[in-house]
Each structure stands twice: as structure tokens, then as C-alpha cells.
Amino acid sequence: MRGTNYVVKRTLFALMTLLVAVTLNFVLFRAAPGDPASALRCRACTPEFKEAQRKEFGLDKSKLEQYGIYVKQLAQGNLGSSFSSRRPVWEELKDPLLNTLPMVALGTIFSIVFGIASGVVAAWRRGTVADWGNLSVSLFFYSLPTQWLGLMLVIVFAGVLPISGISDPFLEFTDPSWWDTFVDRLKHMLLPSMTLGLVLYGDYALVTRSALLQTLGEDYILTARAKGLGAWRIVRRHALRNALLPISTLIAISLGYLVGGAILVEAVFSYPGIGLEVYDAVFERDYPMLQGAFLLLMLSVVLANYVADLLYLKLDPRISE
């Protein structure tokens, strides 16, 4: 019964968070000075033309009316139409989103695997050279801005790996196989994904080390050692399993961090993902595009945190007791 109450509370909290996020998503971009019409710079962009644009975009209505239209469209599954291209926002974001997901997934998998492995080694070998080396490397990558690291990787690997775009524009003229296309896409996403993965690697390593050090000091670990269990068995079956709560929380939270970091990283590498779309939409003050992109990002973060909360029922039996 307690487990059911926990699920209900987490579900209501996620829904309330989403409602607040939708409202902030509307207010955030309209709080900035200017609008899409005022951003127009052309010889024919007279004050009358700009006023006509405002009416076309619905910007002449009050903020409350605009908010009502925005919520009504969302209820119908409509993200609106882009001010720049006049196309539906979802059609504009669908392909960039599909480009971003594998790139972010590759960086996330790298950071989780190597970050947790480094944290486990550092915690188990506390006070040794292995611990000092892992801790130094983790702190170094954790402190780096993603856009700066991306620029450094461009300088180091220029001429070795592709540093811009998502595919070789000349490849289509060679009648490539699916394998050639796959390898070409993988090469183009390698540097941006590693930029995200290296920064997040430091985060996972530090959190894993801290959680394991706390767990390794528990009485049941001393008991396992007294029974003669091997080091790897103690870490795998006892210490790491009980240190998964902060790690699972970090995985959920890091999704939002990756999305924020991907905006700058995709701009550095000219990678045609959702981050680059957001970057361009900011300069054009394309409200529907920004609202649609940030809504998708917020949905992913809220959903990831909701799943992490539900996983606590499995990871921490005390919740359902």
C-alpha cells in the first residue's frame, strides 16, 4: 500500500512539474525584449510591414490570450507553426531530434560505462595511485566547459575525423552501401558525442566513487570480507548494488544537462540536431520553434526523473515497506 501511495505521489508531482514547465516555457521567451517582427532587418521591413507580421503571428493579442491559444494547441497535440519557415514545428524538429538522439546516446553510454568503472576502481583502491589518477582525470573533465572541449577536439582531430556536419556530401554519388553510410554517420557523430561523454564521464566517476566509499564503510561489507569473499564479488553483489540510488538519480538528471550541453556542442560542430535548431531559433526569435524544442526537452527530463523515481521501488525496498 505504501508503494502505491509513492507511485501516486510521484505521478502527481510529475504532472504538476510538467504544468509549471509548460507555463515557464511560454513566459520565458516572451520576457526577453523584442519579438520576431522587430528582429526583421530588410529594406521592405517598414513599420507597417512589421505590424502586419505581428498580426499574422498573433503577437498583437494580449499575453493571456496568447497563452490560452498555446495551451489549447498543446492539448490538441499541435506545437504550432514556425515563424520563419511557416511549417509545423514538429515537422521542423523531427529530423533534427532523430539526429541528436544517437549522438547523445553514444556519449551517454560512454560516460556511464567508463565513469562507473573509474569510480569503482578509485573507491576500491582508495588512497593509492589508481585512486589519485582517476580522481584527477575525473575532476579535470568535470570542470571543462563543453564548448571549449569541443573546440580543442576540433583542433586536435582536424584532418583525422570529420569536424562538421552529419555526413559526407559526396558519399551519395558513390552509391554507398548501408554499412558505408553507417560508418560515415558514426565518424561524424564521434567528436560531438565524445565532447558530451568526456565531461559527463567526470561526473559519473566522482559520484560513483563517493557513493561506493560510503557503502564500503558499512558493517555488512566488513562481514563479507570476514567471510572470505573476493574483492570483485563484494563490489558487484554488495557495494555497487547499494550505491545505485545516487547513480540512477544522476543518470536522470544528466539528461537535462546533456540537452543543454548539446546546444553549444552542436553549434561548435555544425551538427544538424535539435540543439543547432534551438541555437538558430534564438537569433530569429522564433517562439514556436523554441517552445516546441524546449517542451520536448522538458518532457524527456521529467519522464527520465519519473522513471528514476519508480526505479527506487526496486532499488530501495524500504520505500514499499
Q: For residue 1, what pLDDT band results from cuts at 50, 70 and 90?
A: low
DSSP result, 136-176: HHHHHHHTS-HHHHHHHHHHHHBTTB--SSSS-TTGGGG--
The pLDDT score that the predictor gives to residue 261 is 56
Task: Sketch the domain layout of the chain as residue ranges.
Answer: 2-20+95-320
Q: Rounded to an integer, what distance in angstroms lies between the CA atom of residue 69 and that of residue 298?
A: 20
CATH architecture group of domain 2-20+95-320:
Orthogonal Bundle (1.10)
8 A C-beta contact, residue 298 and residue 21: yes
State whether residue 195 is helix, strand or coil: helix
Q: Please report the pLDDT score of residue 246 as a whole number.
A: 77
Residue 13 has pLDDT above 70, yes or no: yes
Specify burial of residue 246 (Cβ count, 10 A radius: 0-12, 13-18, 19+): middle
pLDDT band per the 50, 70, 90 thresholds, residue 276: confident
Whole-model pTM: value is: 0.77
Instruction: With CA atoms as reference, report the closest residue to 315 among 224, 218, 249, 221.
Output: 249
pLDDT in tens, 64-98: 887 888 888 787 777 777 777 778 888 888 888 88
d(CA 243, CA 39): 51
Burial of residue 126 (number of CB atoms within 10 Å: 0-12, 13-18, 19+): middle
- Write the secondary structure of 29-62 as one string of H (helix), E (strand) and C (coil): HHCCCCCCCCCCCCCCCCHHHHHHHHHHHCCCCC
Beta bridge partners of 287: none
The model's confidence at residue 317, banded by pLDDT at 50, 70 and 90, is low
